[in-house]
Amino acid sequence: MSAVTSDLGSLSQALVELVAKTSDGIVAIKAGAYRTTSGVSLEGNMIAAANHAVKRDSGIPLQTASGAQSTAMVIGREPGLDLAILRVDDLPVRPLPSRDPAAIRAGDLLTVVGLTTDAGPSASLGIMGAVGGSRRTWRGGTLDQFLRLDVNLYPSQSGAAVVGADGALLGMATPALSRHSAIAIPASTLNRVADELLRQGRIRRGYLGVGTQAVPIPSSLREKLGLEYEYGLILLSVEPDSPAEKAGWQLGDILVKLNGTPVLDVEELQAVLRGDSVGRQASALLIRGGEKFEGAVTIEERPKRDK
């Protein structure tokens, strides 16, 4: 037997063992009459699933790799992340250990492991195509980390576990957050959303009550004010009785920093206005009439809009 053949055999066996081990932490979800998708086990008897595949809120059939069956109920949804959190109290599944987000790199080998009710585990091998910082999705949710997958994703792998070569959970796979490739919702995001849904019963979003647009800050003004940021957000509207109005913000002000974080575009502002910011006071740096305007603003929860 050649060394190459031996190495390939070892790799093959390692992947088989990785898939089997990962299967203990995932479930098959009977999402529709003729379709099965996957879910990832979390702490507290919770399951993370792809929201687009979960069509009802209760009596959702689940099955483990060992064949055990039960039903689950939805405790909350975050459509902005294509994420539904289910609860099941009587299935033998265990949460997978997760990897430190800082240790995830572009080019890392990964395996997507899903589960079907008839054929058992479903696996796809690929690499981490790109890794970036916090990002707002086109649906309006916030990913703690951007993880683009270079992998073939089968329909049954919506909601599947994405694991590294060490077997650590990197995230949950979904095809619904990018028009060009599959995305992994980071493990930290799964846990954050599940925790907020348990505590609040909903996903909250911060609210300032302003309409903004990114504008360049002239170099002469940056030099005068001692600013290093080339862009800020000009206030195009300030809603009556909003947090911004209560803080004294005015039309034409340029927001440069919020709570110590530069806001060079709308996405960066939305990242600051996550659910855990609601009710907190944040420092703000604005430019008004060519001078610095500093103060504090209390972030409120975004009100529901009438349909």
- What is the tens place of the pLDDT at every residue in 258-301? 999 899 888 788 778 877 788 899 999 999 999 999 999 999 98
Q: How confident is the model at residue 34 (pLDDT cuts 50, 70, 90)?
A: low
In a domain, 145, yes or no: no
In a domain, 67, yes or no: no
Q: Could you give the CA distance from residue 126 to residue 152 in angstroms, rounded to a whole number?
A: 8
In a domain, 216, yes or no: yes
Strand partners, 232: 215
In a domain, 254, yes or no: yes
In a domain, 281, yes or no: yes
pTM equals 0.74
In a domain, 181, yes or no: no
Q: What share of residues in the chain are helix, strand, coil (percent, to 5)?
A: 20, 40, 35
Residue range 171-198: mean pLDDT, rounded: 91
Residue range 179-191: mean pLDDT, rounded: 93
Q: How confident is the model at residue 303 (pLDDT cuts 50, 70, 90)?
A: confident
Which strand (E) or helix (H) includes residue 69?
Answer: strand 69-78
**pLDDT at 305 > cutoff 70:** no
The model's pLDDT over 167-182, given as tens digits with 9 standing for 90+, comes to: 999 999 999 998 889 9
Per-residue model confidence (pLDDT) at position 6:
75
Q: Which two tokens stand for residue 94?
A: 């265990």
Buried b (16+ CB within 10 A) or exposed e, 137-147: beeebbbbbbb
Residue range 34-42: mean pLDDT, rounded: 91
**pLDDT at 307 > cutoff 70:** no
Least confident piece of the model among 70-84, 190-204, 212-226, 230-244? 190-204
In a domain, 283, yes or no: yes
Residue 286: which CATH number?
Answer: 2.30.42.10
Domain span at 267: 206-301
Q: Residue 125: what are its φ and ψ, rounded to 5°?
A: -105, 135
Which strand (E) or helix (H) includes residue 91?
Answer: none
Residues of the chain above pLDDT 70, percent:
95
In a domain, 257, yes or no: yes
User: How many domains does the structure of the chain reveal?
Assistant: 1
Per-residue model confidence (pLDDT) at position 158:
94
Q: Could you give the CA distance from residue 149 to residue 267 in angstroms, rounded to a whole number?
A: 22
Q: Residue 72: what are its φ and ψ, rounded to 5°?
A: -130, 165
By C-alpha distance, which of 252, 249, 306 is closest to 282? 249
